[in-house]
């Protein structure tokens, strides 16, 4: 796994660097003292088709915190938070990080985190392969999805919004809610431009938005929160309607 270390404490970075060097299947791509430097590395490697697989982030860093950086990443980067404080753990796990380690870090605890991240990464790849085999967007604006053991044809114009629920995605239509085994990332890639993501767990159809503010939209009579990560994209798309 290609990994990245981010911590403004030089000693903490040195400890993790030593642990990475001892772990045969880890390849250290960068060790950064700030989240902004790390963001540059993540972007550079992604654009070069050499994405980072695993990242170790401290939380409290100047300008941009490790949690803010984790919030900006996709599902394909497994994040382990390494912090001197326990208080950030609930927020970190809300972001679906692979693990949370409280400093000081011993090697055995480090190994458990790496193994957990490796298993989660394998699960994501299996999900993607499953979705590619069971979901296909058609040119006529319909999609076939596997739901409860059968293929269901869905008119995308009827889908008001898409909601993540753990390992599943729910397509909300006027007639029924259709639950499928998929990730939000896969759905976002397959849905046409008529849809926009407004939250890590929500995608909406633009022409179904009845009311909007910077913090929420109303779709099909339901108020849905807009996260800061997707706010600017949403507002930009609304201005072009």
Looking at per-residue confidence, does 237 or 17 come out higher?
A: 17
Residue 137: the pLDDT is 47
Residue 152: the pLDDT is 73
In percent, the amount of the chain with pLDDT more than 90 equals 55
List C-alpha distances in Å: 41 to 11, 32, 33, 48: 21, 9, 12, 11
Return the axis-axis angle of helices 107-134 and 10-22, rounded to nearest 10°.
70
Average pLDDT over residues 44-56: 91
239 pLDDT above the threshold of 50: yes
Looking at per-residue confidence, does 73 or 219 come out higher?
A: 219
Best CA proximity match to 141, nearest among 159, 161, 155: 155
217 pLDDT above the threshold of 80: yes
Task: Give the whole-angstrom CA distance, residue 61 versus residue 6.
Answer: 9
190 pLDDT above the threshold of 60: yes
> ω before 72 within 30° of 0 (cis)?
no
Residue 81: the pLDDT is 96
Looking at per-residue confidence, does 180 or 203 come out higher?
A: 203
What is the per-residue pLDDT across 125-149, written as a single tens digit (0 to 9) for each?
655 555 544 444 444 466 667 666 5
pTM above 0.75, yes or no: no
Average pLDDT over residues 61-85: 89
List C-alpha distances in Å: 167 to 52, 105, 135, 201: 23, 31, 15, 11
In percent, the amount of the chain with pLDDT more than 70 equals 87
Best CA proximity match to 67, nearest among 49, 88, 48, 46: 88
Average pLDDT over residues 70-76: 80
Sheet strands (E) in 34-74: 54-57
Residue 139: the pLDDT is 43
Task: Give the whole-angstrom CA distance, residue 57 versus residue 197.
Answer: 26
Average pLDDT over residues 161-186: 86
Average pLDDT over residues 20-41: 94
Q: What are the extents of the domains in the chain? A: 2-131, 135-239
* Fold assignment, 2-131: Rossmann fold (3.40.50)
Residue 127: the pLDDT is 53
CATH: 3.40.50.1000, 2.40.50.1020, 3.30.1540.10, 1.10.150.120. Which one for 135-239? 2.40.50.1020
- Beta-sheet strand order (sheet of 142-147): 136-137, 142-147, 150-155
Task: Give the whole-angstrom CA distance, residue 121 versus residue 128.
Answer: 11
């Amino acid at each position: 796994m290609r990994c990245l270390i981010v911590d403004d404490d030089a000693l903490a970075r040195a400890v993790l660097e030593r642990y990475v060097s001892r772990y045969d299947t880890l390849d250290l791509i960068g060790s950064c003292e700030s989240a902004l430097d790390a963001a540059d590395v993540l972007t550079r490697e992604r654009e070069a088709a050499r994405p980072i697989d695993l990242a170790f982030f401290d939380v409290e860093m100047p300008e941009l915190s490790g949690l803010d950086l984790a919030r900006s990443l996709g599902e394909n980067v497994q994040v382990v938070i390494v912090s001197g404080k326990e208080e950030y753990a609930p927020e970190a796990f809300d972001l679906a990080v692979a693990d949370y380690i409280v400093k000081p870090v011993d090697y055995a605890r480090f190994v458990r985190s790496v193994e957990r991240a490796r298993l989660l990464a394998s699960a994501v790849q299996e999900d993607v392969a499953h979705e590619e085999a069971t979901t296909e967007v058609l040119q006529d604006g319909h999609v076939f999805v596997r739901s409860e053991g059968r293929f269901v044809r869905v008119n995308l114009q009827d889908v008001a919004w898409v909601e993540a629920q753990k390992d599943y995605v729910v397509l909300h239509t006027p007639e029924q809610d259709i639950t499928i085994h998929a990730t939000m990332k896969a759905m976002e890639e397959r849905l046409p431009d008529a849809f926009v993501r407004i939250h890590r767990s929500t995608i909406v159809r633009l022409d179904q938005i009845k009311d909007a503010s910077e913090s929420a939209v109303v779709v099909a009579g339901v108020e849905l929160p807009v996260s800061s990560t997707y706010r600017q994209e949403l507002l930009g798309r609304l201005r072009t309607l």
